[in-house]
Structure formats: C-alpha cells, structure tokens
Structure 1
Amino acid sequence: MVSRPAPASALPPGAELPEHAGFWRAALDAVRDPVFVRDPAGALRWANTAGERLAAGAAPEFVNVTETTGKVGTGGVLRPARIGALPGGWQAWTLHEGGGRRRPEDFLAEAGPKLAAARGRHGTARLIAELAAPALGDWVFVLLPTTRGRWEWWSSGAGPPGHGRIRRVPAQAAPVLAGAFAATSRPEVRAVPGSEIDALPSVVAEQFQAHSEVSVTSFGGHDVPGAILIGRRSEPVFGSAQPRAIEGFAEAAGTALANAHRFALQEEATRGLESTLRPSPPAQVEGANFDLWYEPAAGVLGVGGDFYDVLRREDGSAFVVVGDICGKGAEAAALTGRVRHSLAALHLVERDGRTLLRLLNELLIAGGSNRFATLVLGSVAAVESGLDVTLASGGHPAPLVLRRGGGVEEVSVPGTLVGISAQARFAEATTHLDEGDICLLYTDGVTEARNRTESTELFGDERLFTVLESCVGLPAHEVVARLREAVREWLGNSGHDDIAVLAIEAAPRAE
C-alpha cells in the first residue's frame, strides 16, 4: 500500500497553525521564488532571501495589472508576479520562479484569453505590448502601418507605456524590419542589426541603446502587416525556448489584431446601416405639433422593425406613417428601410392612403419577402379651425384621439395586413382635431409590453386607455412622457419589443 501525503489544508483535529511572524518568515524564506510582503498602505515591509537577492539593496517597484497579478521592477526590469491577499489588507507579491525559467505554454495560456477579450485596434495593440513586456523582453514596441506612410507604435517596458506615430523607415535602410512587415508566413524571430535600430526615429531607437539583443517578428499569416520589436538586457525568461515563446505569442497577437480589424469593419457597416435606417426628426408643419417615443428592442442595430416618418409636402401638409414590420433584428430593420424609402418616394406622386397601401402591398409580395407589415399612414393638413387628419390602415392598431374637452376616441380604420395577399383591402377615414386635441398613432410594442414580474401579463388596451384618459387636456409631449413612464414602470428591467409612438397635436395658430 502506497502512503500519500495529506493535502496542506488537512490538519489533524484541533490543530492550529502558528500566527506569529517568525513562523511565516521562516517558512517563506525557504521558498525559492522571490516574495515581497506589503502593508495595507502599499509599503514594502519584508522580503524573503530570494527577494532580497533580486532587489540587490534597491527599493523594488510594484505595478498592479489586475487584482491578482502585477509586475515587480528591479534593476530596471519588470517581472510578472502573483498578488496574494493576506489578512488585514496586506499582500504577498510572489515572482514566477524567481523571474527565471517558465514554460512558454504557461505564458501563452495566460495571454491567450486576454488577447481574445481585447477590442479595437488601439486597445489590442496596447495590450500586446503590455503582455509581451517583461515576459519576452525588457522593452517592447508594437509597430503597425498607418496613413501617410507612417508607423503607429505602442510601447511597454520599465517606464510608462507609450503611444505615437513615426516616419516609416525605407526598406533599404532596414531590410530585416521591412521583411517582418511584409511576411505572410508563420512568425519567425530575427535579430535586428544595430544599424537598423540606429535608422529608426529616436523615440524608438533610444529605448534599445542599452539592450544586448533586439529581435523582431511579424504577426503571421493573418493579413495583418506589422511587427513586434523586442529588446532584452538580461538573460531570456524562457531560456532556449525564448524564440518559441515569442513566435507563439506573435501568432496569437496577429489573430487578435485580425479580429479587431474585422470587428471594426462590422461596426462601420453597422453604423452606416443605422444612419440610413434611423428615422429623421419630424418635419415642421404649421398648426401641428409632433411628439415621439421611438425605442427599438435591444440588439446590435439601433433600429428595428417599428418605424415612423413625418414628411412635409410642398403645399404645407404632412405625410405621416407609423408601421411595424413582422419580427425584429437586422432582417426586420432592412425591410423597414425598404418600406420607408418606398413610401417616401410614392407619397410624392400619390396622396390617397388606400392607393399607397395597395402599391406597397404589391411591392412586398413581388419582392418575395416572407414578412408582413402593419401600417397606418395618411395626411395631416391645417384647416381654419385646427387639423384634418386623414388616415388609412393596413392591419394596424386603431389610432386614438384625446379630445381636449374630455374623452378618448378610437378612429375606426379597417384594413388587412400588408404583404400577405394580393387581394388585401384597405379603408380610409378622416378625423378633425380642434386646438389641443391629440391623435395618437402607436405600435403593438406598447400594448404587448410584458409585466416585469409576470411575463404572461401584457400592458394591454385597457391600461393604455386608462393612461390616456388621465392625460386628457395635456400637451402632446406630456402625454407621450406619461405613456412612456407607465410602460417602463410596467416593464421594469425586462426586455421589450420595438416601440414607436407618434402624437399629432393641433397647435395654436401663430397670430
């Protein structure tokens, strides 16, 4: 039978470890890794024998990286350390194997998740430099091409991290560097001659003057031109495995930069799509006030399947539309843009709402989309005593009118869904708004909002009418604000579908 040692935490019943400092000092002095103990104020209070030997009588520099990792600077060299929390706010900083030999695999396993979590070109390049120093060298420069024939650089080392731009060195003056920038195969570490270092701008060259070796490698076959310059004054951390550690790190760094570039392109495309799909502020129309609540569901795009438009016509009237595309997300947003742009063009040559809906219905069916839409659209025109609002509907929730004198009315405008059947039929109705009356157009994101604690319970038509009845006599902006507050209170922190609300108020005429 083989006897196995008990784990360190398995103490005999009733046993306690000594708490006096002499016991712990003696125990830590036997540890071959340098250990530095700091008090809650951050002052160095004790170091074991390995730590004293490493510090060589000088005061070490402590740099926090995360709550559990940091760097200890001695003799101008920063070395990675683990930070252990001790009782009373004290800390024990332990260097990895005396700042000596580590396995490249361990270093790459630690760096990989951090690189994968990096975002943006700038943040990724800065992180690459910070991770590489001091594990791979005492000073590290990340060089990436930028505009106007220049290089952008990020540095990390014994001093503060840096960032800037420098002139690009011609290939004939620095062939090794030029080869690294042009490389498309796996990274390969190459020594940089002193003449090439001298050819670099002083902000880079001066940092490498006292280094015994400066090496360079590309980022591998990721379509990421650039290089990592690594200067070393002391023995390599990974010994003979140092080139393997650098090349493995450069490969992972190239992947991170390629991902950052991809994300940047996606964000640019998303912003471009949003700019074409996001509704514009409502047009100014004499005799009318328009107020809005537009809140797409959470998602990548800042737009969704619900939409509105208020477009001014040459005769002073306005074309208004509120609609809801079936579904949500990018596909619904794309169809939303198609519908909005189609209606923006059609209303210039056609005023009849039923005809507009019929033409849009034919367009959606001909386009082969499997999505449908509900819409209410029409005209808002100033008349002598207020506004005439003429609306046509395609399967949309009925418009509501808040009469300043009291009461909430429903405008009956029957119609079928748009984009489902070639036989769809649409109706049109006109309602008059006296000064202070408000016509409210909205999508079902309001009535189908789910309760924050009971998801099967919807806000519903009854609650909507109750809220609006309490708003009779208020101006449009106050009505919309109170409705928004009521629905958000109902939702709490839970998600919701797209919401679009347009309030049309008959405003006082200018004298």
Structure 2
Amino acid sequence: MTRTRRGPAAGATGRGRAGRLGSAPSVDPDLARELLDGLAEAVLIADSVGQVLLVNATASALLPELHPGVALPGSPVTMLSQAYATGADDVEGEHRDRRLRGIRRPLAGDRSAWYVRDVTDDHLRAEALRTERGRTDFLAQAGRRLGLALQREQALQAAATLPVPYLADLALVVYLPSGTVEYQPQWIRHSGHGSTPALGAAGWDAVSAVPGLVEALDGETGVPRPWPVTERGGAGPLIPDDLDPAATLLVSPMPGAGRTAGALVLVRTGARDGFDRRDVELVREFAARAGAALATAQLYDAQIHLARVLQNSLLPPGLPAVGGVRLAGGYRAAGDSLRIGGDFYDVLPTDGGALFALGDVSGKGVGAAVLTGRVRQSLQTLRLVEHRPRELLALLDRALLDIPDATRRGQFTTLLLGALHPEPDGGLRVRVAGGGHPAPLLVDAAGTVTPVQVGGMPVGAVPGARFDEAEIRLRPGELLLARTDGVTEARGGPHGTEMFGERRLHRALVEVAGSSPSALVDRVLRLVDEWCGGHRHDDVAMLAVGPAGHG
C-alpha cells in the first residue's frame, strides 16, 4: 500500500510555525500576549543584547523592575544580569526575599526567552524535609549511643555531649545521685571545646541561679528564654564565665523511672537563632530518652553493686592450710562479668584433717549463686555434727528438700564430698561420697589417670536419694582432681563448637603428672581458656589434693 505524505494545504504556507513569536506576522499579537499572560511562569523575551522586548503578567508581578526597554545585563535582577555575564542558561538565586529559578531558551531572530519560576515554597519544603531527616538521624544516633550506656557515667557523658553542636552550643546535665547522704547536685557540662566534658558538684544556690533548673529537677517543663549576662550571677560553676552575653536558654526535665533522673540545660549563643517550636519538641524528646537511659544505668549500677556483694560472699574462698595436705583450687564463671555462678568448692578443716566439697548447682547466674551460698552455709553447720561424707550428704539432702520449692524453684546440686586424713608415712587417705557428680580423677606419678567411681544421686532433687562413697589412699606423688563438667563441656576449637572432652583433660593431666596440685590446676585452666578462645562457656570449678611435701 502506497502512503501519500500530506503537505500544507494551499494558501496555508507558514501556518505550522505560527506558535513562534514573530515567525508568522499573521498571528494576532494580542492573542499571543493573552496566551503568555495565562502562564504560571514568568516569561521575558529579550533581543540579542539582552534588552527586554516583552514580559507577561506573571513576570510583571514577580519582577516589577523589568519591562520592555530595560536591559537585563546590569539590571536589578542580579541572577539574570549575572547569567548574561557568564553565558549561563540555567540560574537560581534570591530576589525580593523570594527564591527564583530561571531557564533561557533560544528563539528565532537571535532572541531568547527566559522562563522564571518562584521556587520559594519548593525550597522551603525541601529544607523542611532535610531538617526533619536531620532530626530523625540525630534521634536515631542518640538512641543507639544512649542504648549502649549501661553505666551511669556513660549515660551522663552521652546526654551532655550529643546535643553539641546540633541542638546547642553548650549542654549541661544536672542530677541528684541516688544513695548519697549529702544529696548535693552533681553536674556534667560540654561545650564542644576539648574532648573531655567538665564535671563537678554544685550547691543549691548555683542551681537556683539558673532559671527553671530547680523546677526541671522537680519534673516541670519550661520555655526558651533570653539569658543576658546580667541575670547569671551565682550560676557558677555550672555556667562558664566566658559564655556569650547574648544567649538563649532552654531547660528540660529528664524523666526517669518513677522520678526525674535529672535536668538538661541547653544554651544557644547569639551567633545562632533561638529555639523554635520544633527545636523545643526535639529537645524534649532527647531529654526523655536521656532520662530513661540514665535511670536504666542507675538501676544497672545498683544491680552491679548487689552482684559485687554476692560475689564477695560466694566466690570460692582462699584455701586453708591443712597439715599433711597440699591443696589447689581453680574457678571460672560462665562468661559472666559478675563472676558468680553455680559451681563451687570449699575446704573445711577438721580435727586431724579436713572436709572438701566440690559441686555444681543447677542453673546459672544469681539464682544459682544463691543456692550455692545455701549449700556452703549448710555444710559449714552440718559438719559440726557429722564428718562422714556419705552421712553428711544425706543430712544436706534433707536440708535442701526442706527449703520451700517456691524459693528453691526446683534447683538441686551435684556434689563430691570428701574427708582427708593424712597418714604418718606421708600418704593421704581420702574417703569420697558422690551425689550425682562426675567421678574424680586419680593421677599417679607415672601419668596414669584413673576415674574413682563414686556414683550417687543429685542432692536436693528427690526425697529418699541414695548416695555412694569410695575410699582411696594417695601415695606421695599422686593427686586427686575433682572438677565440674564445665571443664570437659567447654566448647571451642577451630569452629568454636567442639567440646574440650575427657580425652584432652586426661592428656593434660598426663603432661603434669608428678607436679604440685597448683601446677595441675593452672595447666588445666590455661588449656580450657585457650580452647574456648574468649567464647562463652559454662561454670568451671576444680580442686586438686595430694599428700604434703611431695610433687
């Protein structure tokens, strides 16, 4: 099929370009002017030297300085004047407190048209979006850092340093330390000068000299206000003397858990604007997060203090000197910085010898440590009436079962309980009773490792439990090692998942055969630490005994 290309109709030559000003003299100029006046953009048409030929209605309103006959080069509209000087076709700038954007397009006859648009509102919206994103990013960063502040000093430093310089030129946090007798306000201040914030204590006169600070400590919110230098008398040492005389002050409470954790004081110098409504909202939100972090850190500090008290009472004690016996103990808590757990050992001197105990309470952490303390205290008391290991285990079992289950929560312990009796010929007779605990290991001077089977049931688990015992005699150069299963079950190695195991333990004992109890314990602990490589592990406790004066 043949297609016929349609050309212009007869008598219509040139009509196809009637839309270009001046290219079709037959177009009514008034009609072209009406079309231009209907545009939302400002339109200016200029000749080759930049003299204005035509402006539409929008241009007249937006750029009243420009009208036909005015030359754009050197005109009061700086952005267009500079465009002619530089040859730019796309410009943006400020004019009459408005932000304008202009684009130049060439026309026939060496003329050009400038299309100018008021982008003030677009710019304000974009700036508001950037500001809001900045606020969101600030709160996100602050939340991350405050969330990692587990100690009070860390939380206070984060609360004082994060606002500078984003929120203020100076930030001051005033708080009342809990548990102090003097109840004196403490403070930390950061101004961005130097890497270390200043801190100290202040009297109530200095606190009262900062407008709104006492009220903020009581939980009341304030509003931004100018703070001229003439009103700052008595505020030292909270506020430095060289602070800008023209400053704006904003004080906000820092809500905590049930009470105000402190107060945040922000100061903006005269070099920047004061706090607007959105700034105040952001400061309130930050102060709330900082207060929550400070309250959490104070609670954590209280728990640390409690744990340290427990630690002092529950950590394995120093071993006593027992005539005719050499002793060594080792302990590792289950990857817990508090260093308290459910594994324990103890040695209690008796007439002519000693009792030793090594056990593993079910569970971990503070709960297991509390039961550990009960077991040790019960042994301290019961050994006054009974020295025989198996009979003593039975008494301990009854004592633990008498503890209300709501308090004990079904916990029990595995235990080795032994009686040590030095002999005149330098040997050591050991009678060991077992309560469901791994068998102790006998290591002779030649490097032979032999488990001593004692069996028995866990202590405090079920009524009527049966306990077994065994008796051995250690000759000079021989050692008996009691340990918890945390030794063999410690996971590590190349992939961090393989257990240390009985074979590695036996091999380590062979390497130190004939040495002292302390050398044996140190060697095993070092190998377990290297095996775990810093990974978490279960509690580890061990106790080595042998005849005195040998190995």
Normalised by the size of structure 2, how large is the TM-score? 0.67
Moved more, 499-508 or 167-176: 167-176
Match of 2:543 in 1: 502
2:424 maps to amino acid:
E
Unmatched 5+ residue regions in structure 2? 1-90, 94-125
Match of 1:213 in 2: 248
Moved more, 486-495 or 423-432: 486-495
1:318 counterpart (354, 376, 383):
354
1:212 maps to amino acid:
A
1:280 maps to amino acid:
P
Q: Which has the larger radius of gyration?
A: 2
Per-residue deviation, residues 400-436 of structure 1 (Å, max 9, x unmatched): 2223366334434242222233222223333222333
Inter-partner Cα distance in structure 2 for 1:284 and 1:274: 23
Q: Work out whether residues 480 and 545 of structure 2, in 8 Å CA contact, stay in contact via their aligned partners in 1.
A: yes
Pair 1:236–1:356, CA change in 2 (3 A): farther
Q: Which has the higher contact order (CA 8 A, sep 6+)?
A: 1
Inter-partner Cα distance in structure 1 for 2:143 and 2:458: 52
Q: Work out whether residues 207 and 235 of structure 2, in 8 Å CA contact, stay in contact via their aligned partners in 1.
A: no
Alignment of 1:125-140 (within 5 A): 125-140=156-171
Q: How many residues are matched? A: 414
Match of 1:250 in 2: 287
Match of 2:185 in 1: 151
Alignment of 1:319-468 (within 5 A): 319-367=355-403, 368=405, 369-386=409-426, 387-404=428-445, 407-450=448-491, 452-453=493-494, 458-468=499-509
Pair 1:349–1:273, CA change in 2 (3 A): same
Pair 1:495–1:452, CA change in 2 (3 A): farther
Per-residue deviation, residues 135-166 of structure 1 (Å, max 9, x unmatched): 23222222123453532221122533322222
1:280 Cα deviation after fit: 0.8
Match of 1:119 in 2: 150
1:503 Cα deviation after fit: 0.5
1:345 maps to amino acid:
T
Q: Work out whether residues 254 and 287 of structure 2, in 8 Å CA contact, stay in contact via their aligned partners in 1.
A: yes
| Identical pairs, percent | 36
Inter-partner Cα distance in structure 1 for 2:304 and 2:397: 33
Per-residue deviation, residues 110-157 of structure 1 (Å, max 9, x unmatched): 433222222322222222222222223222222123453532221122
Pair 1:278–1:191, CA change in 2 (3 A): farther
Unmatched 5+ residue regions in structure 1? 1-29, 33-95
Pair 1:419–1:389, CA change in 2 (3 A): same
Match of 1:235 in 2: 272
Pair 1:489–1:245, CA change in 2 (3 A): closer
Per-residue deviation, residues 221-248 of structure 1 (Å, max 9, x unmatched): 6423432222222333764533223222
Per-residue deviation, residues 310-341 of structure 1 (Å, max 9, x unmatched): 1233x352221011123333333332222122
Moved more, 326-335 or 165-174: 165-174
SS at match of 2:359: strand
1:304 maps to amino acid:
G
Per-residue deviation, residues 249-295 of structure 1 (Å, max 9, x unmatched): 22222222112212212222222222222111211112222112212
SS at match of 2:186: strand
Normalised by the size of structure 1, how large is the TM-score? 0.71
Pair 1:433–1:164, CA change in 2 (3 A): same
Q: Note if 1:281 corresponds to 2:318.
A: yes
Q: Work out whether residues 151 and 167 of structure 1, in 8 Å CA contact, stay in contact via their aligned partners in 2.
A: yes
2:298 counterpart (250, 261, 286):
261
Q: Note if 1:483 corresponds to 2:524.
A: yes
Inter-partner Cα distance in structure 1 for 2:375 and 2:245: 66
2:145 maps to amino acid:
K
Pair 1:137–1:286, CA change in 2 (3 A): same
Alignment of 1:282-321 (within 5 A): 282-299=319-336, 301-313=338-350, 315=351, 317-321=353-357
Pair 1:190–1:378, CA change in 2 (3 A): farther
1:376 Cα deviation after fit: 0.9
SS at match of 1:354: helix
Q: Work out whether residues 254 and 263 of structure 2, in 8 Å CA contact, stay in contact via their aligned partners in 1.
A: yes
Inter-partner Cα distance in structure 1 for 2:208 and 2:504: 77
Inter-partner Cα distance in structure 2 for 1:459 and 1:156: 51
2:143 maps to amino acid:
G
Moved more, 216-225 or 432-441: 216-225
Inter-partner Cα distance in structure 2 for 1:237 and 1:508: 80
1:127 maps to amino acid:
A
RMSD: 3.3
1:134 maps to amino acid:
P
Q: Work out whether residues 344 and 359 of structure 2, in 8 Å CA contact, stay in contact via their aligned partners in 1.
A: yes
Pair 1:186–1:108, CA change in 2 (3 A): farther
Inter-partner Cα distance in structure 2 for 1:206 and 1:362: 71
SS at match of 2:212: helix
Q: Work out whether residues 229 and 246 of structure 2, in 8 Å CA contact, stay in contact via their aligned partners in 1.
A: no
1:485 Cα deviation after fit: 4.2
